Structure 1
Amino acid sequence: MAFYVSTGARASELLTAWQGGADPGRQLISMVRKGTGEVQELPASTDAFVWLRLYQLEMEDAIPKGRRLPLWWTLRNPSRPLTYHAAHRMFERVNFSYSSPAVLGTRQAAFEERLRRELTALSPNGTFENTVPIEAVIATRP
């Protein structure tokens, strides 16, 4: 999840990452971009690489190794490369599992209040900024 949040990449793009494309030293992960079909390195958070390492240690004996093999695999045996539909289900579970009224029940108001307090402590004016480098190529036809 941390790579999805910190890179801003589409789920379908992050699923194209391969094992040799994660570079913790430079904090970059390579993937194939949807629009261009070209490989691009995107910066990712330190947390994302920490979680990746924990995932790799947990899956060490369950998935094949190889620099050109997919980075993301299913947890169930037999392990298979993670598909878009499986990633979508993962997002649905994360999105609804911790904050849904069914799970929180009567604690929902307390959860929302605590969340507001913590977000306000992080940014009293209520805004959050993230600077992302963007490159553009502008061309005209003769």
Structure 2
Amino acid sequence: MNIREIEKDRGFLLFVGVCLGIILAGIVVVLLNKPFVGFGIILNGLLMIVFRFYLLSTKPKEYFLQDERSVRIREKAGYNAYIATLIVIFLLMAFGSTIPLIGNANYRDVSAFIFFAGLSCFSIFNWYYSKKGG
């Protein structure tokens, strides 16, 4: 992919814009006297841009085009992962007071667990629907 194709590719420009926003957020965090976290965010944004350039330079453009089947599988997996995440949140709210470890926890304490549950559900559903055939 040459420079003229990159200038016309809206998806890539949007991705670079988001990465630059992440880098800017990292700079703001560094200025708020949290250098360890801020430099981690900046490094994350830079690595995302470098890896995207690497992928674009080594793979043909057809590699990134998605067929209707994979789009439909991702939609179904995302919807079902959303429902599963809502169920996890409901169960934490309903039975959290009876479990001593969760009973005194606030949202910040369990948000990483909720995020991990949603992400793993999406991965499992995506794998399942890919094996099933849509």
Same fold (TM over 0.5): no
Give the structure with higher Rg (CA).
Answer: 2
The TM-score with structure 1 as length reference comes to 0.25
The TM-score, its normalising length taken from structure 2, stands at 0.26
Q: Whose relative contact order is higher, 1 or 2, with alpha carbons under 8 Å and at least 6 apart? A: 2
